[in-house]
A and B are shown apart, each in its own frame.
Chain A
Amino acid sequence: MKRIRILICCVMMMAMCVSLGACTSQDSGGTGEAKTTLTTARSKDIGDLNGHLYAGDMAAQGMVFDTLVENTADGPKAALAESWDISKDGTVYTFHLRKGVNFTDGQPFNAEAVKANIDAVQRNPEKHAWISLSKKIKSVDIVDDNTVNIVLSEPYYPILTELGLLRPYCMMSPATFINGETKDGVSAFVGTGPYKLTEHVQNQYATFVSNDEYWGGEPKIKTVTFKVLPAGQTAQLALQNGEIDFLYSNYSDAMLDSETLKSMGTNKDYQIVYSEPCATRFLMVNASKPETIIADKNIKEAIWYGINKEELSSEILSGLETPAETLFPSTAPYCDVKLKERTFDTAKAKKLIEASGWKMESGSEYYTKNGEKLSVRIEYRTDVAGVKGICEYLQSNLKDIGIELVLTGEEKSAYYDRRKTGDYDLLIDATWGVPYDPQSTMSAFSAPSSYLTSTQNLENSQEMFDWIDQALVSTDEVKRQELYTKVLNKIQDDACFIPLTDVQVIAVAPKDLKNITFNQSQYEIPFEKMYFE
Chain B
Amino acid sequence: MRNYIIRRILTIIPMFFIISFISFVLINLSPSDPVEIILRANGVPVVTEELIEETKIELGLDQPFLVRYVNWLNDVIHLDFGKSYVTQQPVFKMISPAFGYTMQLALANTVVTIMLSIFLGIICAQFEGRMIDRGTRSFLFIISAMPAFWIGTLAIWFFSVKLNLLPTSGVGSWTNFVLPTMVMSIGYCGFYFRMIRNSMLENMNENYVVYARSCGVKEKVVVKHIFRNSIQTAVAAFCMAIPGMMAGTVVIENVFAWPGLGRLCVSSIFNRDLPIIQAYVLILALSYCLFNIFGDIVTAVLNPKLRKA
Contact = CB atoms under 8 A, between A and B. Distances in A.
B175 A21 contact: yes
A143 interface: no
B50 A129 contact: yes
A55 B164 contact: no
A126 B54 contact: yes
Contact of B46 (A56, A167, A203, A444): A444
B42 A126 contact: no
A273 interface: no
B74 to A, nearest CB: 24
B201 interface: no
A203 B173 contact: no
What size tier do the contact residues of chain B reach? 35 or more
Contacts of A229: 169-170, 257
Contacts of A243: 167-169
A127 B173 contact: no
Nearest to A436: B45
Interface in A164-216: 167, 184-185, 201-205
Given A185-B88, A234-B153, A449 B123 contact: no
Interface stretch (A69-77, A408-416, A500-508): A408-416
Contacts of B256: 234
A253 to B, nearest CB: 12
Given A54-B42, A202-B94, A447-B46, A7 B88 contact: no
Interface stretch (A22-30, A103-111, A397-405): A22-30
Nearest to A204: B259
Contact of B161 (A25, A127, A240): A240
Interface in B233-250: none
Contact of B257 (A48, A227, A420, A440): A227
B46 A241 contact: no
Contacts of A131: 45
A201 B94 CA distance: 11
Contacts of A82: none
Interface in A97-140: 126-127, 129-131
Contact of A126 (B37, B41, B48, B127): B48
B232 to A, nearest CB: 24
A227 B169 CA distance: 10
Nearest to B182: A18
B165 interface: yes
B42 A55 contact: yes
A145 interface: no
Interface in A13-39: 18, 21-26, 28-29
Contact of B87 (A25, A55, A126, A233): A55
27 contacts: A18-B178, A21-B166, A22-B178, A23-B165, A24-B175, A28-B173, A29-B164, A55-B41, A126-B50, A129-B50, A129-B51, A201-B259, A202-B97, A228-B257, A228-B259, A230-B254, A233-B153, A238-B168, A238-B169, A411-B270, A413-B272, A417-B32, A432-B45, A440-B45, A444-B45, A449-B48, A450-B46
**Smallest CB-CB A-B distances: 3 pairs:** A54-B43, A130-B46, A22-B165
Interface of B: 31-33, 36-37, 40-51, 54, 86-89, 94, 97-98, 119, 123, 126-127, 132, 153, 156-157, 159-161, 163-171, 173-175, 178, 254-257, 259, 263-264, 267, 270, 272
